[in-house]
Each structure stands twice: as C-alpha cells, then as structure tokens.
Amino acid sequence: MGFFSKDKDKAADRADGGREVQLSDGRSYRVTRQVDCLGDSCPRPQLMTKKALAGAALNDVIEVLVDNPSSMEAIPPMLNGIGATHLETVKAARCWEIYIRKD
C-alpha cells in the first residue's frame, strides 16, 4: 500500500452535478467538480487539485474541500503557475472550501 493509495475513492475528484454557489463578491458560480481532500495532508490536496484542473474545461469552477491548514494555505499560491484563478476560500463548519476557476 503506497502513500497515495489511502482512501483512494474518498479523495478522488468527482463530477458535482453543477450546483450554484454565491461567493462574498456577490457573484454566483456553477461548481462543476468537487475534490474531497478531507483528512488528507500535503502534498495530496495539491496533487488532487492539479489532477482535477487537468481534466477540467476552460472556466470550470472546482471546489476543493480541505481540513488541513497547510493545504488551505498552499493551494491558492500554486494556481498562477498552473492556469487557474483562486476565487475565494470559505471557512465552513469543519473544513475550508477553496473555489478555483480554470483559465
């Protein structure tokens, strides 16, 4: 069992049916994909985010769920180098929801 095989199905990105989310800037976005990285530590959330972006279409909005503070801080700065924009990070009850748009 390798380091990245833990809970493979839980952390895999999945299509999210396109629910709407309104962020603090007042704009609404349709979330096209969700990446569940709850319980995962670095670098897994960053790698799963990159994988989801690689499979996303232009202007797709991806929601990344993390409960690890270092992942919450590490994901937004990496986006400029991989063709994505950080829209917002929202503190939820037990995690952070990071909203990303593929450029």
CATH number at residue 88: 3.30.110.40
- Asked if residue 88 belongs to a domain, the reply is yes
Task: Give the model confidence (pLDDT) of 20-56 as tens digits.
Answer: 999 999 999 999 999 999 999 999 999 999 999 999 9
pTM, rounded to two decimals: 0.84
- Asked if residue 84 belongs to a domain, the reply is yes
Task: Give the model confidence (pLDDT) of 50-92 as tens digits.
Answer: 999 999 999 999 999 999 999 999 999 999 999 999 999 999 9
- Backbone angles phi and psi of 29, in degrees to 5: -130, 145
CA-CA distance, 99 to 103, in Å (whole number)? 13
| Three-state secondary structure call for residue 75 | helix
CA-CA distance, 77 to 87, in Å (whole number)? 12
Q: Give the number of domains in the chain.
A: 1
